[in-house]
Amino acid sequence: MLEEAKAGFRKAYGYEPTGVWSAPGRANLIGEHTDYNNGFVFPFGIDRRTYVAIAIRQDKVARVASTISEEVFQWEISDAKPTALDWALYPLGVAWAMREAATTGFDAFFVSDVPVGAGLSSSAAIECSVGFALNELWSAGLSRQQIALLGQKAENEVVGAPTGIMDQTASMLAEADAAVLIDCKTLETELVPLGLSNKGLVVAVMDTRVSHRHSDGGYRSRREACEKGASVMNVSSLRELSESDLVAAEKLLNDVTFRRCRHVITENTRVLAAVEALKSGNMERLGELLLASHASMRDDFEISIPELDTAVEVAMSVGAIGSRMTGGGFGGAAIAIIEQSKLEALATACKKEFAAKGYTEPNIFAVKPSQGARKDS
């Protein structure tokens, strides 16, 4: 993919790129829809990456192209936000967010093997690869966490998706065979070794191929319900509440708002419990927490779909330690922690059950917890 990025750049622009940078997609082990509620999340970078070949220009024009389409998108770096540029809003949005550091324009070409719409944050991989590259090319001097925040700013203010900070932080800070515990209130992070490979375990991704979009209304309505719940409970965010507050919350909130808030509050507890389970090597407890997380997203937050529920059920029937949907919901993928030797059986069983129910054939593959944004060439 490194060479593909360079070749694509040469074909699109007719000269050699300065270098190639990359950033991973991410899978979230546990902690869903807690990030924008100032809670805890526990994602890891995956060994599916977005690569960008890039070179600076002598003017302030930014051009981006990719293997997605033949089209080259162009925008002049300024205070005016880029608009109506399809997928190019992600990288150009980052350039807009970094515009104060912009000494020049640039040409960029992207290639990626992060599945789009699968809940593996293909968008953050684009944002972090180009942000990491521009930080070096423009000598911006930003930290990895600052680049992550600018990627989130691009997604919120240019793309229009009201996402939290988890995806970009994971893509920037990830390390091999570890997950990143992120406190989304303080932005403090802790790398926690997973130790899966020495136990013969892998994280299997079951991509339902039902695409989702964060800018659609379902995500926004969930966020608004959380904000309403926090307001009624007189706190700045749901992070300030614990499970002991649920008795009072149930009396004050309508049923839907209460269940949305209950998911977030209990999910924060599950994230911290999952970290402790990993540190103590208690994989059975970790599995229980993953299943409880999925049930909460299915029943309280109502963001699962039948395909995701089926994937989780099949994974457990094949012998997974635990399984849950991952990502924003309304489609995308589920993950399962399972023995490497059972991966093929999982794929076979999942495809068989999806076919029996008339669903689109899923894509099942293993991912390894992998390194964050880096310079490749």
Q: Based on the residue annotation, tell me whether 245 is a catalytic residue of this protein.
A: no
Is the same domain home to 183 and 280? no
238 located within any domain: yes
Q: Tell which of 192, 225, 248 closes a domain.
A: 192
Q: Which amino acid is at 226?
A: C
CATH number at residue 210: 3.30.70.890
- 155 and 95 share a domain? yes
The tokens describing 88, both together, are 């190019």
pLDDT tens per residue, range 190-200: 999 999 988 99
Whether residue 204 sits in one domain with residue 170: no
CB neighbours of 139 closer than 8 A, spacing ≥ 6?
Answer: 101, 103
Domain count, the chain: 2
* Domain presence at residue 376: no
Range of weakest confidence among 39-48, 283-292, 326-335:
326-335
Kindly tell me if the per-residue pLDDT of 215 is higher than 60. Answer: no
Q: Are residues 84 and 160 in the same domain?
A: yes
CATH at residue 29: 3.30.230.10
Domain that holds residue 180: 2-192
pTM score, two decimals? 0.89
- If you write DSSP's letter for every residue of 243-254 in order, what string do you get? GGGHHHHHHHS-
Cα torsion angle, 359, 365, 366, 369, sign:
negative
339 located within any domain: yes
Q: Which amino acid is at 375?
A: K
137, 169, 192 — which closes off a domain? 192
Q: Which one from 86, 107, 113, 167 is the annotated catalytic residue?
A: 167
Position 322 in a domain: yes
pLDDT at residue 216, as a whole number: 58
Q: For residue range 229-286, what is the model confidence (pLDDT) as tens digits? A: 999 999 999 999 999 999 999 999 999 999 999 999 999 999 999 999 999 999 999 9
* 310 & 348 share domain: yes
Distance CA(256)–CA(163), nearest Å, equals 21
Q: Is residue 373 part of a domain?
A: no
Residue-wise pLDDT tens digits, 129-183: 999 999 999 999 999 999 999 999 999 999 998 788 899 999 999 999 999 999 9
Task: Give me the amino acid identity at 179.
Answer: A
Summarize pLDDT for 93-102 with one digit per residue, the tens.
999 999 999 9
Domain end (from 192, 226, 247): 192
